[in-house]
Amino acid sequence: MDKSIARAGAVLLTLSEKLRALTGWRRAAAAFAAGLCGALALAPFYILPLLAVAFASLVLLIDGATNAPRPKRSAFAVGWFFGFGYFLAGVYWMAFSFFVQADQFAWMAPFAMTAMPAGLALFTGAAALVTALARRAGWARILVFASVFALFEYARGHVLTGLPWNLAGQALAGSAMGAQTAAWWGAYGLSLFTIVLAAAPAAGLVPGASNRRAVSGVVVALAGAAALFGVGAVRLMDPSGPSASPDAHMRIVQPNIGQRDKINPDKWGENFYKALNLSTAPAPEDAPLLIIWPENAAPLLGEAHSALNVLTTELPQGSVLITGAVRRDMSDSGASRYYNSILVVSETANGRQAAASYDKHHLVPFGEYLPFYDFLNAIGLAQLTPYGDAGFTAGEGPRVMTAAGLRFAPLICYEAIFPSAVYPHGDRPRLLVTVTNDAWFGDTSGPRQHLDQARLRAIESGLPMARSANTGVSALIDAKGRIAGRVNLYNAGVIDAPLPRALPSTLYDQWRDIPFFVMAASFLAWAFWGRLFSRAARKRLQPLRDTGKPQ
């Protein structure tokens, strides 16, 4: 065993020295390759050991950059090339949306595919620069690196409109077991802990280290991962999570309509009946039936009296339809304003009516609206979604709605990726309802990564989620992130199941991102002042050692 440890330590030390010694384009290429490795830990691959390869390599490359002739520039470049590789492999699928209307937008795909990763990589470049400036050693540099990197992930989720996509902790959301601690510290806290474990193998890889010390970081990483999944397994053993509730019965519809047909007005009637035909089975007698249709399943439904009449006669009596729709109203000037909305369509004395609506407030730039409209429109750019000249109008913000007496938080597509923004703080609903349309992005990693983020929102809030996706993946997720029902990508189908129970309010639901900031601050305090505190404690204890008497 000792010989095996010695050999492993020697190999790791040799590799670490080679990484630190890289310069110029070779260092940049290694950082880019490390970023690609990190992306392979995300959906749909989940090769979790590559996360350790990625982040441990990045730490060693920052070590080397710190000793370069221009350390600040070199460190930023290392972080930027890492981020460019990570996001190029992680969000490449965004370019697929430009080919739906290829005659108009295909020319933009190469620019979008490179510009988005290049912009997001500024955050990883800045994190690497700050880590290098801190100039910590051993385990202290791991804690600084992880805390700074996670804080820049938080910034990425909030700067401008924010894009918290593919946080490091999202790699653990491929299973409910790995993501359970998000109920305490949220997605950003899960990312912080994940980065600590992933970077830990580099802790003992310092010049002059013994072979045994070289493997110490790997041992800590494995032990930490085992503890993380062990805690998750114990939490999932609690029988209170998956049991069904008599509050409601869910019918989640996935009509599987291609994006070209989805946005073609000539196909709206046909698309409407695809969703309707999947919705007409008799309602259960023991609970109210909530039928969920995906994003924009029924454009302008509130104005379509004939469609409402069809719903009155065809949907099960007593059921309530929650559907994505485009809503239109008129401004004071007489111009039409369009909203990406959710409608609650209930039975009334005059047939089915849109009893309440929610308007998406966190719109996708360039997809649903055009920033700096006057300028960009003048040079020939347009938003992808074909509603209005400037696109959709944003709603007022998160809210809670009621259907069949059940309070729920509505989320439309992109809104489900933002931790702590799924409903007003302190106004806790009974469940989350997400409607989305990932058909823009084809059979890629994007829809699968989107599902993982939905799982995290359920775990963070302790609430079940009903998720209806046009082409998938639709799912009924319980309050601990377990998939209680699922329709896979590019299948038409229905999930018919009782609503899982909600859990008591989680720590994250009550405190939001405060535990994450406390963790990051604690790690930084230990990294910068831990040794100082240790010296002070030794000085105070020295008289006890000298005299053997209480002081």
Enzyme catalytic residues:
295, 360, 413
Of 236, 304, 314, 246, the residue nearest 275 (C-alpha): 314
Written as one letter, the residue type at 517 is: F
User: Chain centroid to CA 388: how far?
Assistant: 29
Residue 246: left if φ>0, alpha if ψ -120 to 50, beta else—which one? Answer: alpha
Q: Evaluate whether 153 touches 188 at the Cβ level (below 8 Å).
A: yes
Alpha helices in 22-70 (DSSP H): 24-39, 49-66
Of 253, 329, 242, 265, the residue nearest 291 (C-alpha): 253
Q: Which two tokens stand for residue 490?
A: 């590019």
Buried b (16+ CB within 10 A) or exposed e, 430-442: bbbbbbbbbbbbb
Question: Mind giving me the DSSP string for 355-383?
Answer: EEEEE--SPPBTTTB-TTHHHHHHTT---
C-alpha distances out from residue 243 to 103, 130, 461, 482, 499, Å? 50, 47, 17, 11, 9
C-alpha distances out from residue 89 to 44, 93, 125, Å? 12, 9, 17
> Order of strands across the sheet with 406-412?
401-403, 406-412, 431-436, 465-469, 474-477, 483-487
The residues, ordered by sequence, that sit 6+ positions from 481 with a Cβ below 8 Å of its Cβ are 173, 176, 179, 180, 455, 456, 458, 459
Q: Within a 10 A sphere around the Cβ of 506, how many other Cβ atoms?
A: 18
The residues, ordered by sequence, that sit 6+ positions from 365 with a Cβ below 8 Å of its Cβ are 161, 371
Of 255, 299, 260, 301, the residue nearest 278 (C-alpha): 255
Q: Residue written as tokens 């249709």?
A: 293
Backbone angles phi, psi at 283, to 5 degrees: -80, 150
